[in-house]
Amino acid sequence: MKYIDEYRDPDTALRYAEKIRSMTTREWTLMEICGGQTHAIVKFGIDHLIPQEITLVHGPGCPVCVTPLEIIDKAIVIASRSDVIFTSFGDMLRVPGSSEDLLTVKSEGGDVRVVYSPLDAVKLAQNNPGKKVVFFAVGFETTAPANAMAVWHAKQQHIDNFSVLTSHVLVPPAMETILSSPSHLVQAFLAAGHVCTVMGYEEYFPIAETYKAPIVVTGFEPVDILQGIYMAVKQLEEGRAIVENQYSRAVRREGNIPARKLLSDVFEVVDRKWRGIGLISNSGWGLKPEFEMHDAEKIFDVVGIETQESPVCIAGQILQGLKKPHECLAFGKDCKPEHPLGAPMVSSEGACAAYFHYGRFKGAS
């Protein structure tokens, strides 16, 4: 961003921190939804700037972290085939499956390649007609438009050897799942600004109203996050629960209309499993029937693969804001970035990786 310095200005950040302290009269628990926000909070010590009465918990906002174990295993099965070029963004290669990861498949001779765009994978398919090229399409609403464009382009150009292994998830249903749990701690949300650049924020209105939880669409720099916290706490202190947009320089209420149309043309809403959380109804996207010739799950017949999570990893509790990374008995001991037990430790956006990387890695006693 051209004018990034103003959103990292120490004086402005300290002013917001002081305003938050001066208005806080009781304990509040806020959840940030985005892994990028989690890393900013830990990196810049934002949780130490605000009063101790305010607790920030880390939600299921890391796309790598919430990709279910069975999808990783399906990717490994497909990538191990000799007739396949399996493509992915780099952060998925080290996510552990049941027994290995995609990097292991690559080391054993599988043709696994890192690409920087799904359209790069489409070009690979065009240039390698004797191979089946698969792109690992994971993530939230943010990455979905590019993946939808790749599928749409492949169909239009009759590139029949291109397919996607899809595990797209949607933020609003996850928020509702958290708020409807009897054990939830969350009283307000900092919503992910980049998701809202695509989808807008009208979907959040009924959530805020139904669960009486303020939702503030928030950016990713320290001043953004502190202003978002200020707006959320102000609502809580005043007994209000509405949707507000802190990230107005990038987000419009209606979102990106052309991108939303493309998504509705290519995808349909489906039930989706979330790693560590389980099945959430109507919480994901899958390809519409007219694009099933590009659906890797159906092409390679891996629909029936099921798996069990590690009994040691508490990623699910961390992703729901019930626990923090250092409360895991394996954190910083059996689970480290070089040998992760769960996705929140391996992902660049994972809460566990943030705590470890920025020095908050004392294991639980």
What number does CATH give the domain 1-308?
A: 3.40.50.11740
Domain boundaries, the chain: 1-308, 315-357
Please state, for a pLDDT cut of 90, what percent of the chain lies above it.
Answer: 69
pLDDT exceeds cutoff 60 at 355: yes
How far is residue 71's CA from residue 60's CA, in Å, rounded to a whole number?
Answer: 17
* pLDDT tens figures, 41-70: 999 999 999 999 999 999 888 888 888 889
Instruction: Give whole-number Cα distances, 213 to 13, 204, 210, 228, in Å.
Output: 25, 10, 8, 14
Residue 188's closest CA among 241, 226, 253, 227?
Answer: 241
Confidence class for position 364, pLDDT limits 50, 70, 90: very low
Confidence class for position 313, pLDDT limits 50, 70, 90: confident
Predicted pLDDT of residue 3: 63
pLDDT exceeds cutoff 90 at 306: no
- pTM, whole model, 2 decimals? 0.90
